[in-house]
Structure 1
């Protein structure tokens, strides 16, 4: 699991404005013991997708399978 977070405050504010969550809050996503961390395709810096509790939309079947370990 990723446990080192390096980001600028300005970029964190911009992320909050665009996505509704800043990077300080986003760190809590890694506290979910059942979360699934997937390396995202990215040029340059390492990026990750975190799949955990989904409550804002119906999850896709493949997301449910990944989360449940199937």
Structure 2
């Protein structure tokens, strides 16, 4: 199977914490993200429970942490 590259933005702290966690689990970032993508396909959706009341708060917190202004959108479906 051929591979392709996906690039996305996150803050440095999140990346470093995730890398530490995945390392403790014996995974690298690429393997962990591939696991997420494959499970999303199996579930035909996001592979964890989302609570509707918290989505606006999560979107706001993410925008603030990433330094995104009002004109940016966080896409969630």
| TM-score of the pair, normalised by structure 2 | 0.30
Bigger helix share: 2
